Structure 1
Amino acid sequence: MLTEKEYQERLDRVAALREKLADNLSGSLVSNPALAEELNSQIDDLVSAAVAGDEARPVPPDRGLAALVGLGPDAARSLGETLTSNGVAPYDDQVNSERIVAVGDLYYLYQHDQIGVFRVVQKLKELFESGAVRLSSGPGAYALYQFDRRDVLRYTRKDRIEAYRRVLGYGRGLGSAQSRPNTDFHMLFGHFVNQVTLFWRDKRISDVIRERAIDPSFGSIAVVRRAGLDLRNNLKFTSFGHLNVMRVELMQVLDECFKILGSEDVIDLFGADNAWDVVDEVLIRYFDERLQSSPRQRMAVTGREVLRWLAGPHILETGRGEFEAMLMNIAEPAEEWLTSAQAMSLARRSGSDRVLPWEQLGQSGVASPVAERSPLTVPPRAGARPPAYPRRNGMGTYRGGAPGRRVTLR
């Protein structure tokens, strides 16, 4: 630990060094902004090395308290002789990357679950057991038998839904073991993706219309970093528990499902070319659903890439050049995720919202999910009797019913 006098002298010397370099290189810094970033980066490295050396110095057992209050033979004669600290470890550094990767895999699984992959295999298993399809002893039939036998050892569909609710906030009700659902995830995730796409959009515009295309001063990495840190901190507390084990098991189940759907006898049964064609055929034939396989699957792949990027230390990079180089890895995935989500009305593109206030989380924002429409219902007033005959207005027809029941707009 440093004394208060040494601590203040170091800060003054660092400030004087920055001022002296800026004064001597003022002409070069104007024409070459990257030089200023490099100088500041080297000075920051020197300061970090000095702070690390301070932490290794021996410290009195009382951490300098006796000297500060004036007790004992080592009592300080002035405030400058007392010991002080450089601070504690930054909050945003203390994140386990494995847990963020697990959230990325769970998001990947959720999107495939929404497509209907698990429902398709379950339906195929029911048809196989009832003898309603021409499957007997082929590789797909045998894999279906094994899939059914292992079912009792796996997490159930209810466990999956509760995990999605607890970690990602998707669905309804409470999360696993009656836990609090993470309703802020989609808002923060969409906000971060929006800021990444806005940053690269600004960067491309800068490269076209500015005189110095290599000048990296257009666009703010601080806004992107803040959006990423908000999302990562949100996932920090929702990724505990059985998530890591569950996602490993479910990834194995998903792989097994596609091996069944891609089996030769199953593909021949539906006249398909690959496993995804089997999924689409079963969803159309037996569930009568509109297909959303393509955008959902791309959201799964690109969303997982974005979350995996957050699991690394790239978001804490302070150098602009290094940060842009790392951020380029998710530039296209972020744009593709936003385009797919926008096409499905799950997110909207923002051109001006740079900051997402905490008070708006879960209420409104740049990427709030669009709720599914429910049937229009008009609850009766207290003590009111339902109409004895149909009554029309500009919206439709109100039909009567028993007292206390809803009056449905048809």
Structure 2
Amino acid sequence: MSIGTSESLQRLFAQWKREVLAQAQPEHRAELQRQLQQREEELLAKAANGTAGAAFSDLMGLGKDGAPPFESISKPVLVQDFDESVIQTQLHAAAELYFIYQHERMKVFQVAGVLLRLFHDGRIRIQRGPGARALYLMEKHQPLRYKPKDRQLAYRRAFNYGSLTAPRGAVVFRNFHREFIAFTSAIAQYFRDLLIGEVIRGSQALNERPFASQATIQRLGADMRWQLDRATYGNIVALTVEAAEYLKTILDALECADIKKAFDANTKWDVIEVVSQRYLGGTGEISQRSKMADAGRLLLNFAADNPFKTRDFRDFQTEVSPLGPVAEEWIAAYRMTPNGRSFRGVTPTLRTTLGIPGAGASRDLAS
């Protein structure tokens, strides 16, 4: 399709679209506009398909008819596919790795090591029950290829967490914590704005745009998923599968009755707390980290599965609204950790991230 034809088609289609929308019922106008926009993009893409070579040869004057007028040269359509150029398997692995990291901070893996040592030394009074067998199987199911140092390196590469130095040449997502806090805060702010909008309007059924911005969530989410995709290549997927299987084995073992009885515990979390207090110098923020693990994994999986291209605010609202309470839960738990006590609130964090003047320096970078 030539440049002149393409421009004429766009102009006529825009005029026809205005006439159709003017005659449409108000309740159907938004959906009809979305369908017309999609149809226009499809027609232009179909008409320009396969004309890139012809456009170049005509522009250079190498075509069979010589150098045609400029408006007769074929016009290629450039397609923006950046947001889809990620590997979702790696993004889902990053979500699971975040879940595993929070359990690392709860000292779950260290507690397992202590229990195995006590079992070997005969300092824990279990012998023939399910706990004894679980500890035996736990030792057999220890990761064969990826040891604690490998996990620490994975946390550093994907999240820039931990104290180990990343290997030379490895890609590290150095700004993950700040971007994740900003992404979570944007979802929480969107959820709060929706609630305020419903109170002001008196109903959630009114066909008006909600008082909330989806652009911030879309931009932060698209950037974060791209950065995670860059940093989680290599062995991250395999390491996450192996570490997740080992973590499940540990948590199942801690639920055994004879292990809980040996520490006068009611739940596996009590076992983790008692063992951490006795042998590891203190507990690892079990309550807060458990909520951050669950909520953080949900938020990262949402980012992995969403290309953040939805333009219709009602569709976007349907996708994001269930995550509003999840984001609020993560923020509430994070603020109770030593690193999260400097969190300045949802609005100041977003203002700082978006570069709005007067926001002040951000202090939410500690992991």
TM-score (norm 1): 0.80
Equivalent residues in 2 for 1:294-313 (5 A)?
A: 294-313=287-306
8 Å contact kept, 2:111–2:276: yes
Can you give the 5+ residue segments of structure 1 that lack an aligned partner in the other structure? 371-410
Query: Match for residue 19 of structure 2?
Result: 20
Counterparts of 2:47 and 2:4, CA distance in 1: 14
Matched, 1:187 2:178: yes
Aligned to 2:346: 350
Q: Which of 208, 214, 222 is the aligned partner of 2:215?
A: 222
Please give the per-residue CA displacement for 1:357-383, whole angstroms capped at 9, x wherever unaligned: 58xxxx95374327xxxxxxxxxxxxx
Quote the offset at 1:72 in angstroms: 4.3
Q: Distance in 2 between matches of 1:235 and 1:13?
A: 43
Match of 2:324 among 321, 328, 331: 331
Task: Report the equivalent of 2:139.
Answer: 148
1:16-53 Cα shifts (integer Å, max 9, x gaps) = 2343345556xx65xx6xx4432321112212321442
Q: Is the CA contact 1:191–1:367 (under 8 Å) kept in the aligned structure 2?
A: no
Aligned partner of 1:122 among 113, 121, 124: 113
Q: Report the number of matched residues.
A: 359
Which of 320, 333, 336 aligns to 1:340? It is: 333
Residues 175 and 41 from structure 1, CA distance in 2 versus in 1: closer, same or farther, beyond 3 angstroms? same
Q: Secondary structure at the match of 1:369?
A: coil
- In structure 2, distance between residues paired with 1:314 and 1:152: 34
* 1:363-382 → structure 2 map (5 Å cutoff): 365=362, 367-369=364-366
**What amino acid sits opposite 2:318 in the alignment?**
A
Cα displacement (A) at 1:329: 2.7
Asked whether the equivalents of residues 163 and 176 of structure 1 are also in contact (C-alpha less than 8 Å), the reply is: no
Partner of 1:53: 46
Shifted more, 253-262 versus 141-150: the winner is 141-150
1:158 maps to a residue whose letter is: K
With over 3 angstroms needed to count, the CA separation of the structure-2 counterparts of 1:129 and 1:279, relative to structure 1, is same
Is the Cα contact below 8 Å between 2:222 and 2:307 reproduced in 1? Answer: no
The 3-state SS of whatever aligns with 2:345 is coil
**Residue 66 (structure 1) aligned to one of 48, 57, 62:** 57
Q: Which residue number corresponds to residue 379 of structure 1? A: none
**In 2, are the aligned partners of 1:195 and 1:354 still within 8 Å (CA)?**
no
Corresponding residue of 2:93: 102
The runs of at least 4 aligned residues of structure 1 exceeding 6 Å deviation read none
Cα pair distance change 1:355/1:48, threshold 3 Å: farther
Larger RCO, structure (CA 8 Å, separation 6 or more): 2
Task: Name the residue aligned to 2:253.
Answer: 260
- Return the match for 1:85 from 67, 73, 76: 76
Q: Do the aligned partners of residues 23 and 314 (structure 1) sit closer, same or farther apart at CA in structure 2, a change above 3 Å counting?
A: same
**Residue equivalent to 1:174:** 165
Aligned to 2:270: 277
- Normalising by structure 2, report the TM-score: 0.89
After superposition, the Cα gap between the structure-2 partners of 1:10 and 1:90, relative to the gap in structure 1 and judged at 3 Å, is farther
Aligned counterparts of 2:314 and 2:63: Cα–Cα separation in 1:
53
Residues 151 and 93 (structure 1), Cα distance of their counterparts in 2 relative to 1, 3 Å cut: closer
Verify the 8 A CA contact 2:90 2:229 in the aligned structure 1. Answer: yes
SS in 2 for 1:46: helix
Cα RMSD over matched residues? 2.6
Is contact 1:169-1:182 (8 Å) kept? yes
CA deviations 1:336-373 (Å, max 9, x no partner) are 00111112142442225347258xxxx95374327xxx
The letter of the residue matching 1:351 is T
Shift in Å, 1:73: 2.3
Q: Which residue of 1 is the match for residue 6 of structure 2?
A: 7
Cα distance in 2 for residues equivalent to 1:212 and 1:274: 44
Q: Is the 8 A contact 1:191 1:366 kept in 2?
A: no
- In structure 2, do the counterparts of structure 1 residues 209 and 52 end up closer, same or farther at CA, with 3 Å as the change threshold? same
In the alignment, residue 12 of structure 1 is paired with which amino acid? R
Stretch deviating more after TM superposition (342-351 or 243-252): 342-351
Give, in whole Å, the separation in 2 of the partners of 1:177 and 1:253.
Answer: 28
Alignment-derived partner of residue 41 in structure 1: 34
Paired residues of 2:190 and 2:324 also in contact (CA < 8 A): no
TM-fit CA distance, 1:4: 1.2
User: In structure 2, what residue type is equivalent to 1:266?
Assistant: I
Structure 2 gaps of 5+ residues are: none
SS of match in other structure, 2:231? coil
In structure 2, the CA distance between the partners of 1:123 and 1:48, relative to structure 1 (3 Å rule), is same
Displacement of 1:291 after TM fit? 4.9
Could you tell me how far 1:265 is from its partner in structure 2?
Answer: 1.7
Question: Secondary structure of 1:88's partner?
Answer: coil
